[in-house]
Chain A
């Protein structure tokens, strides 16, 4: 079981305007673990991810307090935001194929980071599409549009793109919300593979998904951590908090 801290969050508060949506949460995410985050809609799960990769900056009304460090480095004071975001792969709930070719979808991030040798980019494109279990389906039509793929394929393309800047952390935000169960299972297999090389934060609306994949799971509710612990405990018969048991077993209301 890995134990070295990769992301450390202390007393994180987030407000949109005057409305606080994260009420001072503290947690550690360990290197090479799959960290599950469950909780009802509007709990602040997406907002938490956006604080970690600083895309929260694009919501001018948001104000953040507390500290977040990645590899011991302060995120909120990061000078090179783009390097920070490259360190963190982000997969959104709805698949987003950029209106570019499949190849360019994956080559986009390396190019933005200044890579321009064709051979290097070719290698990254192939590697990431393979990692995302999409290569075999698209290798003969890399120059067709990414937006014309099926939903499930686009979500794997999104994952390939998130891997293309070789992140150390991969965040998935309810990735299976718009795709079929078969693709979901394929992506889950991909994640089991990826955990060897990276830390994975898996925000999910399917509690069973966290149970299957996550080493530890956090139950977030209304911007507060109700319980955080090994998945065995959270999904077992006796979590510490009664609300966890109720949520996991669909009795919440």
Chain B
């Protein structure tokens, strides 16, 4: 009764084939990542020492370390997210929890979506016009950070809204039924249960802010800046700074006679920091999911 007919055998075979084809496609995703990492590490090996991180570039940037660029990137990422995260989160709370469906809020939504689609080079030009010139912040960390903030803002809004929307509507209704205001509901039920998703979304923007070159090149990143070796407080807000992404670009294309391993080691530092931060986001998410409350 359960014997295999030819028709069933064909079905089973195509099922198996399909599964393997799909698996091959999905599995091949590992390959590029693996290749990139291995390739980078092999090429970077001769320069990879702790001192490479802490030292400043020497001999016209052909040797030495990358400290000023590393610190500069930390400044830019930190300040830009310090600006975009609060604004983005508050805006998302408004859009998801308060906004009614009227023309103004539809316009705001449309603006957010389109802002997310603006190419980074256009953000760069906008930052140059708005912050460097119009606001008279000059070429500075402030201008560059604000430009990055505007670039990351719409994505933070989108990811925050998604996190808020994952809190079931029935929880809000239960709160409203007992006479809680919208804000009391948001504060005691909605935010505590979406905060992990919100933070993950913000942290994932670290890699974008750290990786972009054009926006900061136009607004505040410089070719070279002399700072103390290992100095964490190397810059002021109104100064220009070096940054990893820009530094990688200059030593790879603009400076002759750089040791071959130096650009690769720079890339390893950039990629390593970003992956580290992303890993933190994943760990945070897993931790919060483990204590999921419903």
Residues of B within 8 A of A162 (CB): 177-178
Across chains A and B, which 7 residue pairs bring their CB atoms closest together, nearest first? A99-B293, A109-B178, A147-B294, A86-B179, A85-B179, A90-B177, A82-B179
Q: List 10 A-B residue pairs with CB atoms under 8 Å apart, sorted by A's residue number.
A: A60-B100, A81-B179, A85-B177, A85-B179, A89-B178, A92-B173, A99-B294, A100-B188, A112-B179, A147-B294
Cβ-based interface call for A150 (8 A)? no
B179–A98 touching, CB < 8 Å: no
- In the complex with contacts A60-B101, A99-B189, A147-B293, A109-B179 CB distance below 8 A: yes
- Cα A90 to Cα B178 in complex, Å, equals 7
0 or 1 for each of B172-203: is its CB under 8 Å from A? (1 = yes): 01111111110010001100110000000000
Cβ-based interface call for B133 (8 A)? no
- Cα A94 to Cα B171 in complex, Å, equals 11
Count, A-B residue pairs, CB within 8 A:
71
0 or 1 for each of A174-205: is its CB under 8 Å from B? (1 = yes): 00000000000000000000000000000000
- Cα A161 to Cα B180 in complex, Å, equals 12
A98–B177 touching, CB < 8 Å: no
- In the complex with contacts A60-B101, A99-B189, A100-B188, A112-B170 CB distance below 8 A: no
- Cα A193 to Cα B206 in complex, Å, equals 59
B177–A53 touching, CB < 8 Å: yes
Instruction: Give the size range of B's interface with the partner.
Output: 20 to 34
- Residue in A83, A97, A145, A158 whose CB lies within 8 Å of B179: A83
- In the complex with contacts A100-B189, A112-B184, A92-B176 CB distance below 8 A: no
Residues of A within 8 A of B192 (CB): 99
- In the complex with contacts A96-B170, A99-B189, A100-B189, A112-B178 CB distance below 8 A: yes
Cβ-based interface call for A249 (8 A)? no
B294–A165 touching, CB < 8 Å: no
A99–B193 touching, CB < 8 Å: yes
Which positions 207-234 of chain A face chain B at CB distance < 8 Å? none
Cβ-based interface call for A164 (8 A)? yes
Measured CB to CB, the nearest residue on chain A to B177 is A90
Cβ-based interface call for A42 (8 A)? no
Cβ-based interface call for A55 (8 A)? yes
- Residue in A58, A83, A89, A158 whose CB lies within 8 Å of B176: A58
Residues of B within 8 A of A60 (CB): 100-101
- In the complex with contacts A82-B181, A98-B171, A55-B293 CB distance below 8 A: no
0 or 1 for each of A58-100: is its CB under 8 Å from B? (1 = yes): 1010000000000000000000011111100110101011111
- In the complex with contacts A96-B170, A99-B171, A147-B294, A85-B100 CB distance below 8 A: no
